[in-house]
Chain A
Amino acid sequence: IGEAVNDTEIDIKDKGVRPLSLAGHVGFDSLPDQLVNKSICQGFCFNILCIGETGIGKSTLMDTLFNTNFENFESSHFEPQVKLRAQTYDLQESNVRLRLTVVNTVGFGDQMNKQESYQPVVDYIDRQFESYLQEELKIKRSLHNYHDSRVHACLYFISPSGHSLKSLDLVTMKKLDSKVNIIPVIAKADTISKSELHKFKIKIMSELVSNGVQIYQFPLDDETVAKVNTTMNGHLPFAVVGSTEEVSVGNKMVKARQYPWGVVQVENENHCDFVKLREMLICVNMEDLREQTHTRHYELYRRCKLEEMGFKDTDPECKPVSLQQTYEAKRQEFLVELQKREDEMRQMFVQRVKEKEAELKEAERELQSRFEHLKRIHADEKATLEEKKRLLDEDQSSFSKRRAAAQLLQAQSLTANGKKDKDRKK
């Protein structure tokens, strides 16, 4: 592709990459810092999707995790369909700005027939991917300014029945595991005693494994965090308790729930796994979640979508084909198609015009013949009438002749009689 711009040929001899030792301090060890500074200037963005039954504690847990009071609505149990509600907040901790979007399901698990309950969630996730894809495919694009709304983490709230997952949980997680990082949590965990919790966690994990559901595993490739991540992976799913109310314990005010038989402290690791969740989700692996979303889930979506549209990496002869070539080919195809359609339309138009013309001519002829016909009738009638008139005239004239003759006769006979009378009288 492309020929050498200048005439001189450039002879590239690639000898492979070799390590080089430095004689002094160059300074490019500041590169990570430069990257970090840039990120801080830009600000970070994180999107969490919370899926769980109405009233299971999604909003409360978010409030507790981020130590704020998001606007929360108490949903009704009688929603006819599952909906999603997304709210975006700007948070700041020391000099780091975070644009956090919390998406909650509304009415999940309330319907009698829950076969389609997963669909609105899948659609939401796909829509965010689609937006990003569209931006990526634009000619004039601004990805660094783009507000990334793709879901980075999905907290799935499991109801603390103590036995196993619900059938709805299994069906939903299977539909989502290839689209988003799923982190299952056991909600309202203060209703389960320690021994029951252990059994419950084992049962849940075994059900997930036996049904092939891929949940998010904390990454083990980075040595600095591999150890803590491995331990945490063994505690999944986290049993959490959320509370925004504070109770005085000892001489401190802590976030807790007060029962007649005791106080459950949210941040006490003996009481629940809230601290573990916060550590894993926010402190240690937030960036990895974003990365996984982009490099795994988004790429899968993009590949599937482009394949659907007909793009391939190799053409029918198995030679590598660039996006541009494919695009050109598609464009040509499209133009040819357009031309064909235009021709077809034109033909159809011509055809129609001809038909209409023929129709009109036919109508005209018909009209003409009718006119002729009527004219003839008219002429006939006129002739008949003329004939009648002539006869009448003849009659009239003969009658008047006869009358005149009769009158003459009468007059003659009168004078003749008068003469006779005169003669006699003499």
Chain B
Amino acid sequence: MQKGKLTGLRATEKQYVGFATLPNQVHRKSVKKGFDFTLMVAGESGMGKSTLVNSLFLTDLYKDRKLLNAEERINQTVEIIKHTVDIEEKGVKLKLTIVDTPGFGDAVNNNECWKPITDYIDQQFEQYFRDESGLNRKNIQDNRVHCCLYFIPPFGHGLRPVDVEFMKALHEKVNIIPLIAKADCLTPNEIKKLKDRIREEIDKFGIKVYQFPECDSDEDEEFKQLDKELKECTPFAVIGSNTVVEARGQRVRGRLYPWGIVEGKFTNKFLCSVENQSHCDFVKLRNMLIRSHMHDLKDVTCDVHYENYRAQCIQEMTSKLAQDNRMESPIPILPLSTPDVDTEKLIKMKDEELKRMQEMLNKMQQQMHDKEQ
């Protein structure tokens, strides 16, 4: 953990104030409170999404999953499935939610197949908006989607129409991180060509993917260099694996193939290791997603995407109110899908109480006014 840096006047030794300990306090409190993170994965079936998620979090989230046949998928609609797990590392607790989107891009007719996904994201924003504007804000649950990993198939020449449409529908609602899936089918040259192509097409189509924040100017050179390399490496070409292999005395997560050359000699099996940086960008993705930028993803979601949604919502409401010409309470009364029944009742009760008190107040004022006259 970095020590807090102070710019400007430094308190001298004699007049030591003590707020240099603030970062420590923040750290302590955050550990106590715990963190939460919602990650969405989207892409066609068979791109290795589940395998990658398992590899990222070194666990098995999808124990009893049932995959559909080709016939069942002809007219399939997109479902939204949430897996929530509590994981802990060195005392830090993380409530991780993975939002799966099975069926995306699998049907024969995929027109507007992203609609259930955008509806889901909007629903979470709506719920948060309602909670935030409510009276009892003690235990607001943040279910907003903080990041969406989009898996692009490596078999083509670049982005396909379904990729462009999906990203354009979502880029103003969620942080999109495009990934090249199953990168072990591409040679290093092919990967470079594909990445350049995809970056070009993202620019061309005006898709706003998640941008890494610029690092502070007072960071050290090494960090800045790493940061630069990271940015030039997007979109990340990833491989995932559920199997851990014993190779050269080490346990490595990877994929075993029946071909290979090790030090000029043939071997019958060779390992494509997920964690080998010359094999794929898995490590970069993991470091970026979990180790350095997880909080920034949350911040961008709160400060940019959610605020956009909120401003738009309020604008719509005020224009509607102006049309309706009625006095309504400032609490948004939007239909919720699954409200918490208890808090809802409580809020209603409190509302009614408030109204009664307001009425009494008005009566009293009126009486006073009458007396005065």
Contacts and interface: CB of A to CB of B under 8 A. Distances in A.
A binds B: yes
Interface of A: 53-57, 74-78, 110-115, 159-171, 187-188, 190-191, 193-194, 207, 210-211, 249-250, 257-265, 268, 270-271
Contact of B273 (A167, A170, A261, A263): A261
Give me the 10 closest cross-chain CB pairs, A-B, nearest first. A161-B46, A262-B260, A191-B185, A55-B156, A165-B70, A167-B74, A262-B270, A167-B73, A170-B70, A261-B272
B47 to A, nearest CB: 7
B279 interface: yes
B225 interface: no
Contacts of A53: 155-156
Interface of B: 44-47, 67, 69-71, 73-74, 76, 106-111, 153-162, 165, 182, 184-185, 187-188, 255-261, 266, 270-273, 276, 278-279
Contacts of B46: 159, 161-164
B108 A167 contact: yes
Given A115-B109, A166-B70, A190-B185, A77 B155 contact: no
Contacts of B47: 161
Given A167-B73, A259-B188, 11 more contacts: A112-B162, A114-B109, A161-B46, A166-B106, A168-B108, A194-B258, A261-B270, A261-B272, A262-B261, A263-B261, A264-B257
A159 B185 contact: no
Contact of A159 (B76, B155, B255, B273): B155
Contacts of B261: 249, 262-263
B108 A78 contact: no
Nearest to A257: B187
A194 B243 CA distance: 14
Contact of B259 (A74, A167, A170, A264): A264
Nearest to A250: B266
26 contacts: A54-B160, A55-B155, A57-B155, A77-B161, A78-B161, A111-B161, A113-B111, A159-B46, A159-B153, A161-B46, A161-B47, A166-B106, A167-B70, A167-B76, A168-B108, A190-B185, A193-B256, A194-B256, A210-B71, A211-B70, A211-B71, A261-B260, A261-B273, A261-B279, A262-B261, A270-B259
A105 to B, nearest CB: 14
B185 A261 contact: no
B110 A169 contact: no
A249 B185 CA distance: 20
B256 A259 contact: no
Nearest to B264: A250
B71 A191 contact: no
A344 B161 CA distance: 57
Contacts of A261: 257, 260, 270-273, 276, 279
Contacts of A160: 155, 182, 185
A106 to B, nearest CB: 12
A112 B110 contact: yes
Nearest to B239: A191
Contact of B156 (A77, A112, A170): A77
A171 B76 CA distance: 14
A171 B157 contact: no
A110 B161 contact: yes
Contacts of A263: 259-261
B45 A163 contact: yes
A259 B184 contact: yes
B272 A259 contact: yes
Contacts of B165: 112
Nearest to A258: B187
A265 to B, nearest CB: 7
A56 B157 CA distance: 9
A77 B159 contact: yes
Given A112-B161, A262-B259, A161 B71 contact: no
B227 to A, nearest CB: 24
Nearest to A174: B71
Contacts of A262: 257, 259-261, 270, 272
